[in-house]
Structure 1
């Protein structure tokens, strides 16, 4: 309840700030391409590609896409439009238009909704108590960037820094190392039956199986600290900021961490006509809450990247598949 309320408030505030930032920047149109590919037939069948067409006018943003979901080992195609705008009361609105179904869904976000509005139903509580808690993110702590150098005999002799043209833009090429996609899952609240069911569902998930084909490290982070409920914890101790808890309040946590290591390449142009921070980054912020692709890209490009506009970003998955995101 409290977490849902906090997430809603922060989401409304973030969307409002992003739209206000865009209002002060020049209008533009650009295309953002996604390409997932693999030489492995089974994997290539699950690899999507799409071009997001992005229109920005004032504080209004329109994004057209054809990827709408994933079903039965393949991506579901459609024709949808996302619209972000501020209404007459300056409240952020998110609109989904389905051109094939000829429907529009309008959601107005407020950062002052009362907590009581987020009281969960019994079915929602039951679902959460019988499902694992999982979060996926890119670990940016150890990522490093270095210039890419030309290969071959001449590159070995002169160590020439690599540049390539993407469309008409000259780009410096950088390599990123130690890019880790991390998934953490908690299951201490599940019964034995729920744990078995969750394991079966994960095994039948084709996207999870794709990642499992890549070299992966898996570690169990089960808590070895004492249970503070068993040893006793007073209210005064809990509220004392200086009291050393040194344990889990309630049941000890059972956390499983899975990590997939990737290599990434960036093509950075210094003369690209768009401002990355003022025009593109706010749109990535808007879409990150609605698209897994944008969410992972958001975590990566929020880092302190080398100078230049990232015209193209590529991630390479152990020679099995690659993902390219590009702007034009």
Structure 2
């Protein structure tokens, strides 16, 4: 109790701020390492911004979250990139990967149970991208994905393989997920033309982590999110003279069309860690990526930056600033913010036999992406009644994505071979180097 009185409401934060490693090591066993202060910073945020290397390592050992954002929208990893210490960036990146795997493993039993409780089915969905820019439109892909689900197993067939030299490589690719298999063997990708398969890697190598650190250190620090707080839906209209609510068939399903209003993409970018030479190189890299992906880009091993000046800010000064607007503790930010509104359309059908909640359970098993919980909340609480059989939404200012559920049926006759590796396929761990 005496420690709490001495160090106030945020004892771990104050230990970090005063670089009191000894006291931090005592208090960390009985206090919440994920606690946020009035600016939304965790102790790890502060340790990174102030360059407290011993505190950083102690907090990471005790499970300090790396993914959490402060009120300005930045994670400890983003602040580490700004500070520019290579070993700190590597330590946080390694911990972030591990924490993400741990979360998935904790969720895995519940997800597999949910998958087993869903009746077996076959689903076809078409997705394509299009643009009003002719050259861009010519290189954008389209595909029909076929999804089989039986018990804890899912099979997804697609024809898109890779993007090279300004065109999409077509092929015959299958992803097979087996919920009964050990995690490292649960997801496999098959090239049905070459008759090879590759296990999806469960963990990055140290070389891959080092490469990722190089990319982070020479790139803009980005934070973007789609704001859904103010989204509303209004019935789309059809007809020239006599306007009426738009209702059409989407595949075999009668659907009501809606306009999605007040959808906003909020993005922030920082580059205080970049030199003018870095910025020029980045322009060339982006052009290179558009022609052939990362494989044609070369990154030298980046050295740590000189640390920023020690801030002339006391703990009392820091905690007295207005919430969300703290004084600068690390490198002075060079930031740019942008907010852009988008219009989207969605078609809802009462005839579709699957519910949104069931679809989300299936997707979460095979695609536990970052903002899944927000997507789940949006899809279950804000959508109009029915199932979204067609969704068209902008992904870039000149590019829109469209997903259409064209066919669905419950099945109880799916064969074993659909979810097993064929006997005549052999393993090629390097067939898909990006997986």
Q: Taking structure 2 as the reference length, what is the TM-score of the superposition?
A: 0.57
User: What does 1:101-120 correspond to in 2, within 5 Å?
Assistant: 101-107=194-200
> Do structure 1's residue 65 and structure 2's residue 158 form an aligned pair?
yes
Q: 1 CA distance for matches of 2:263 and 2:140?
A: 20
Give 1:274 shift: 1.5
Give 1:60 shift: 1.0
Q: Deviations over 1:18-71 (max 9, x none)?
A: 333221111101011012234543122122100111111111111111122322
Aligned partner of residue 97 in structure 1, secondary structure? strand
Cα RMSD of the aligned pairs, angstroms, is: 4.0
| Distance change (3 Å), C-alpha of 1:80 and 1:103 | same
User: What does 1:299-314 correspond to in 2, within 5 Å?
Assistant: 301=379, 304-314=382-392
Give 1:183 shift: 4.3
Contact 2:115 2:152 in 1 (8 A): yes
Aligned partner of residue 285 in structure 2, secondary structure? helix
For the pair shown, the structure with the greater C-alpha radius of gyration is: 2
User: What does 1:242-261 correspond to in 2, within 5 Å?
Assistant: 246-261=326-341
Q: 2 CA distance for matches of 1:319 and 1:137?
A: 15
Of 92, 97, 112, 2:190 maps to 97
Identify the residue that residue 193 of structure 1 maps to in structure 2: 277
Aligned partner of residue 115 in structure 2, secondary structure? helix
> Do structure 1's residue 147 and structure 2's residue 227 form an aligned pair?
no
Give 1:320 shift: 6.1
Give 1:138 shift: 2.8
> Do structure 1's residue 83 and structure 2's residue 167 form an aligned pair?
no
Give 1:230 shift: 1.4
| Distance change (3 Å), C-alpha of 1:125 and 1:168 | closer
Q: 2 CA distance for matches of 1:262 and 1:96?
A: 35
Identify the residue that residue 65 of structure 2 maps to in structure 1: none
Aligned partner of residue 231 in structure 1, secondary structure? coil
> Do structure 1's residue 263 and structure 2's residue 340 form an aligned pair?
no
User: What does 1:153-232 correspond to in 2, within 5 Å?
Assistant: 153-155=241-243, 160-202=244-286, 206=290, 229-232=310-313
Greater mean deviation of Cα atoms: 73-82 or 9-18: 9-18
Of 127, 135, 145, 1:52 maps to 145
Of 347, 364, 373, 1:285 maps to 364
Identify the residue that residue 120 of structure 2 maps to in structure 1: 27
Q: 1 CA distance for matches of 2:383 and 2:309?
A: 43
Q: 2 CA distance for matches of 1:91 and 1:172?
A: 42
Aligned partner of residue 136 in structure 2, secondary structure? helix
Q: 2 CA distance for matches of 1:79 and 1:299?
A: 34
Identify the residue that residue 125 of structure 1 maps to in structure 2: 213
Identify the residue that residue 226 of structure 2 maps to in structure 1: 138
Q: Which has the higher strand share?
A: 1
What are the ranges of 5 or more consecutive residues in structure 1 without an aligned counterpart? 111-116, 208-226
Give 1:170 shift: 1.8
What are the ranges of 5 or more consecutive residues in structure 2 without an aligned counterpart? 1-93, 292-307, 408-435
Contact 1:140 1:300 in 2 (8 A): yes
Q: 2 CA distance for matches of 1:258 and 1:301?
A: 25
Q: 2 CA distance for matches of 1:282 and 1:66?
A: 24
Aligned partner of residue 273 in structure 1, secondary structure? coil
Q: 1 CA distance for matches of 2:280 and 2:155?
A: 43
Q: 2 CA distance for matches of 1:185 and 1:299?
A: 27
Q: How many residues align?
A: 294
Contact 1:37 1:321 in 2 (8 A): yes
Q: 2 CA distance for matches of 1:250 and 1:301?
A: 39
Q: 2 CA distance for matches of 1:121 and 1:36?
A: 31
| Distance change (3 Å), C-alpha of 1:274 and 1:315 | same
Give 1:206 shift: 4.7
Q: Which has the higher helix share?
A: 2
Contact 2:357 2:380 in 1 (8 A): no
